[in-house]
Amino acid sequence: MEGRAFLFEVDIAEEDLISEMISSLSPFIKKGFPIKVIQTSAPSMGRSQSMWTRILTSLKELGEWLEDLKRLARIHRGRA
């Protein structure tokens, strides 16, 4: 990523903070700058970790990612 990356580690329970962070990316996408997202997660009691990469190029994709994270947060709350 050659010095052009940010790393945020946020607990999935911080849904409002996550929504605000993701929403703040919309001006960059509107201007034509794609956003590369690398998302990792691990079950609270597990040792395995999953990771995926997504390139966001439209506001629709940004919204879909936000909805995915909201679903993940609901699942997490259900297990707590």
Q: Is the pLDDT of residue 50 over 50?
A: yes
Q: What is the mean pLDDT of residues 15-43?
A: 88
What is the C-alpha to C-alpha distance for residues 68 and 19, in angstroms, rounded to an integer? 11
Q: For the whole model, what pTM was predicted?
A: 0.75
Largest CA distance in the chain: 41
* Least confidently predicted of 44-48, 65-69, 75-79: 44-48
Packing angle, helices 15-23 and 59-79, rounded to 10: 170
Domain spans in the chain, listed from the N-terminal domain onward: 15-79
